[in-house]
Amino acid sequence: MKNLRCVADVKNTLGEGPVWDDLSAHLYWLDITERTLFRFSPQSGEVSSWETPSEFGSFAFRKKGPGIIAAAKDEVLLFDPDSGKQERLVALESDLPENRMNDGKCDAAGRFWCGSIHEISDPALRRPIASVYRVDPDHSVVRVLGDIKTSNGFAWSPDNGTMYFADTPTQIVSAFDYDLATGALSNRRTFAEVPKSTGRPDGAAVDVEGCLWSGHFAGGRVTRYAPDGSVVDVIALPVSNVTSCAFGGADLSTLYITTAREDLSEQELETQPEAGGLFAVDLEVGGFKMHRYGG
């Protein structure tokens, strides 16, 4: 591990959802609160951005057609940033005004997994009224899990036999047995319990050795967990609110890390001038190409 640096000092209110596009060799991510999709070029250092039509919590590129699939405020939609064209696939949780869609990612079969959050300012007061959904390539949508407070940390083991998921306020990263052929979950269990002193588990990525890298909101770190859940490495960042991470770069051995300025006081922002920036760190281990939505 070497050369941790802030590669885009964009001061995101809530930077989230990094996605490496292997076709264009760019890193994309969101500022959920500011309704912005960003793109970073490692070659030139240039940052581009597009306005999103609502608060996008997560997205993935598509195999068919242009643009992305996105988990937005209260819907899942197809969106083309270049043309602005959008197509709603399904409305979700419009009867729960305090909820919005949050983290999401595609599995190896091209299904888009995403979940909602009970979004109130104090995480300790969030109620288990959010859910996790699976959007299949034929655009059908299945509600898979309920009784969730904050959906985060979707990731899969290298053999696709395990799915990871974090319900952030519970401090627990869960693991499920995963059937890639059907998209079915079973045997939920605690993979890791995060001490409150190290922040709350947020977005995650898996490396080629099967280890889970998990960002800690309000913890200023990314933790690397072995497949048995033990901690094997920690990357300390100069900012508190670490939100997610993704592997990218030519050999997929650069870990890109999104961060946020929300919930920080003026004094904290003065001592964390790079809060809300996009960070990168070069690792000795690589990750996998990010899967695209099959629809």
Q: Give catalytic residues, as residue numbers.
A: 202
Q: Write the DSSP symbol of residue 109.
A: T
Question: CA 61, 62, 66, 70: dihedral to nearest 10 degrees?
Answer: -60
How far is residue 167's CA from residue 272's CA, in Å, rounded to a whole number?
27
How far from the centroid of its chain's Cα atoms is residue 78's Cα? 18
Q: 232: left (phi > 0), else alpha (psi -120 to 50), else beta? A: alpha
Which tokens belong to 178? 């995963």
Say which residue the tokens 């091209």 belong to.
110
Taking CA atoms, 82 is separated from 47, 86, 152, in Å, by 15, 11, 28
Q: 45: left (phi > 0), else alpha (psi -120 to 50), else beta? A: left
Question: CA 200, 202, 205, 211: dihedral to nearest 10 degrees?
Answer: 20
